[in-house]
Amino acid sequence: MSRSWSRPTSRADVVTFVEITDEDVAHVVALWQTCGLTRPWNDPHADVARARATSTSTVLVARGGDGVVASVMCGHDGHRGWMYYVAVDPTVQGQGLGRAAVEASERWLAAQGVRKARLMVRDTNARVLGFYAALGYADQECVVLGKDLAPA
Ligand SMILES: CC(C)(COP(=O)(O)OP(=O)(O)OC[C@H]1O[C@@H](n2cnc3c(N)ncnc32)[C@H](O)[C@@H]1OP(=O)(O)O)[C@@H](O)C(=O)NCCC(=O)NCCS
């Protein structure tokens, strides 16, 4: 079943976010690399495959030109929903696509019955905190702890 989420942007366009298809995968990985979101210890293709493998997570993409111009990965545990890989092609940043991606993720999560949206920002990427503040996201006064359960 195909589902999509749209909102008018400041460019008076309609940006539509849809669930990723096989044809989008190479484009979305390239977008993440261009946006500096990939890390050597995370295989982005595996991240996409895992997100697509269950009904509680997905990757939403907005297509444009020959590829994907914006993305967000989202998933949930039934209580909290999380978003990752919020990315907008640098050539079209500042035109509302980032907001549209986050709002598309919020609608996807809400449609799954999730009431709380959460995300993590790396300390090295603090410049995006203003972006999330503009969208209503606030510091949750939590420290994220982690432990790798298997070698990367
Ligand atoms: C962060 C990112 C997704 C923002 O996308 P964008 O399309 O440029 O953002 P938008 O144009 O939708 O901006 C939405 C709002 O945030 C505001 N905003 C954007 N960046 C901001 C910043 N650094 N500081 C303060 N406000 C900011 C805009 O003014 C806009 O406000 P408005 O809707 O009230 O007018 C984009 O810059 C990006 O892909 N960055 C690289 C990848 C990345 O770091 N992702 C986040 C990982 S946690």
In tens digits, the chain (152 residues) has pLDDT values of 344 545 544 543 568 999 999 999 999 999 999 999 999 999 999 999 999 999 999 999 999 988 999 999 999 999 999 999 999 999 999 999 999 999 999 999 999 999 999 999 999 999 999 999 999 999 999 999 999 998 76
3-class secondary structure, 143: coil
How many residues in the chain? 152
Whether 124 is in the pocket of ligand 1, judged by its Cβ within 6 Å, is no
Q: What is the pairing mode between strands 80-88 and 116-119?
A: parallel
- For residue 11, the model assigns a pLDDT of 40
For residue 94 and ligand 1, the question of a CB distance below 6 A is answered with yes
- Say how many Å lie between the CA of residue 135 and the centre of ligand 1: 9
The continuous run of DSSP H or E covering 120 comes out as: none
pLDDT of residue 139: 97
Q: How far is the CA of 49 from the centre of ligand 1 (A)?
A: 26
* Ligand 1 proximity of 95 Cβ (cutoff 6 Å): yes
Instruction: Please tell me whether residue 89 adopts helix, strand or coil conformation.
Output: coil
Instruction: Round to whole Å and give the CA distance between 42 and 84.
Output: 13
| Binding site membership of 62 for ligand 1 (Cβ less than 6 Å) | no
pLDDT at 62: 98
Identify the CA nearest to 135 among candidates 110, 108, 113, 117: 117
Lookup: tokens for 2: 């195909």
For a ligand 1 pocket test, name from 127, 131, 144 the mutation site with the most ligand atoms within 8 angstroms of its C-beta: 131
User: Which protein residue has the closest C-alpha to ligand 1 atom 25?
Assistant: 130
Domains of the chain are 4-134 (3.40.630.30)
- For residue 1, the model assigns a pLDDT of 39
Interatomic CA distance for residues 106 and 121, integer angstroms: 17
Per-residue pLDDT, 3: 47
SS (H, E, C) 81-105: EEEEEEEECHHHCCCCHHHHHHHHH
